[in-house]
Structures are given as structure tokens and as C-alpha cells.
Amino acid sequence: MTRSFPDFSRGILYRLYERRLRRELDASDLPQHVAMIIDGNRRWAKQLGYASAVHGHRAGAIKVQEFLEWCDDLGIGTVTLYLLSSDNLTNRSGPELGELVDIIADLAQQLSHFREWRVQHVGSRAGLPGSLVVALTEAAERTHANTGLHVNLAVGYGGRTEIIDAMRSIVAAHHAEGRGLEELSERLTPELIGEHLYTGGQPDPDLVIRTSGEQRLSDFMLWQAAYSEFYFVEALGPDLRPVDFLRALRDYATRHRRFGG
């Protein structure tokens, strides 16, 4: 009994603190697009003594859905999740990559049946296993008409590749119209390039969050995050708590966004 009492007390204090943070938030100050790099799954598994990183990836997938619910309940309109980079496709070992692919495919299917969320794959299909492409495509088609939270799953994603693909798309469309290079140079604008990104037509992220204490973008939304605010959380991905997210939102609300100024 004496051991459980402190834990019980901490639980009460935690819930009170979470409620206070929620009361302090003003809906008008919340970001409308949050991008999240849920990092630290492998370290989480290692710290708990698991022999395989797959346990961390599974815990991370569970946290992803929790995080999306937190965002949806607060009225945030768009969330982009960095789940599998194009570099991961070549840098991860065969067994771990296979397990991670299955976890992401299952996650996409689960999200496509949850609430009225719209699920979209952002990234390249090049190098992705066929089963994952099918799962992502089916999830997108199933939820295309949904009007709830817009969930971008960044899978097989690389920011540099995205910009290259956007430029190729612009050049191909320009060539199909029978226009010359001089006209193309005159037409190129940030707005035109933005329209041809994987996230074309969506607002850029207001806030980019990364877990595990790492402070880098890792080739994530290089173009879209040009004027984003950044927040880094020490907690490993599966350990992310609502209060961690609420603190990020509180911090975001206090910042003066300059948009290049």
C-alpha cells in the first residue's frame, strides 16, 4: 500500500496538470497543420530489453493513433506523420524493414476505418513493397470523401526527392503544352512548385514536432517547413504523453511567427 500511494498521487497530479494545460489553450492560437516525427522506437525497445526493434515500432504505431486522436479532439485539421523515409528503405535490415512495412500497412487500414478521417499517402511508391502500396492506396480511396481530420502518412518519403519530383512534374506538364524553356523560367514560382508537391493543395505545417530529443529534420518536409515552428520533445516516441503535446501547443501559442521577416 505504501508503494502504490505515491504512484496514485502522481497520477492525480498529472491529470490536474493536463486539465490546466487544456484550459490555458485558446482554440484561435492552435496550429491547423501539425507535422510529427515520432522518433525513438528502436531505443525504446532496447531500453526495455526487447531483442527486436519490432516491439518499439508496434508501440510507436499505437502512439500514432493516440496522437491523432489528441489532434482531432482539439480541432486541428491536418496532421502529417513521418513513418518511413526513403533512406529507411535502404538502411534498415531486411527482417526489421519487413516487420515495419507490415505495421505501417496495418496502421493505414486501421486509420481508414476510424472516425471520418481522410488518409493520404505522401511520398514515392518507388521501392515500396507491393503489399504496402496496396494498403496505402486502399486507405486513401476508402477515405477520399471523408471530411474529418486529414492524415498524411509520409511513407517512402524524402524531402529532396519530393522537390525533384515536383520539378519533373512541372517540366513534363510544360512540355506537354508545347511551351519552351524561356516560358518555363518565367512561370516558376514558389506557389507553382508547392502545387506539385506530394502535399499540393494543403496548408504548410504550422508546427513540426520531433520526439526522442533529436533536433534535426532528417529530410522531412524541407520545402513546406520553411516557415514552420519547431518543438523537440525529450520523450521517446512510444512514451509521448498528452502533456508533452499540450506543452508543445502552449509553447507554439506564445511564439510570434515571422514568415521570413
What domains, with CATH codes, occur in the chain? 30-252 (3.40.1180.10)
* Residue 1 pLDDT: 46
Question: Is 10 known to sit in a ligand binding site?
Answer: no
Which DSSP symbol is given to 76? -
Catalytic residue among 72, 88, 152, 206: 88
Catalytic site residue 251? no
Question: Is 168 known to sit in a ligand binding site?
Answer: no
d(CA 145, CA 147): 6
* Residue 93 pLDDT: 73
* Residue 260 pLDDT: 65
Cell 512540355, located at residue: 175
Question: Is 41 known to sit in a ligand binding site?
Answer: yes
For 64, 120, 164, the CA distances from 202, given in Å and listed in that order, are 21, 11, 19
Which DSSP symbol is given to 196? T
Query: What would the pLDDT profile of 214-225 be if each residue is shown by its tens digit?
Result: 999 999 999 999
Question: Is 216 known to sit in a ligand binding site?
Answer: yes
Question: Is 125 known to sit in a ligand binding site?
Answer: no
Catalytic site residue 39? yes
Grid coordinates given for 231: 518543438
Enumerate residue ranges in the chain where pLDDT < 50.
1
* Residue 4 pLDDT: 56
Beta bridge partners of 78: 33, 150
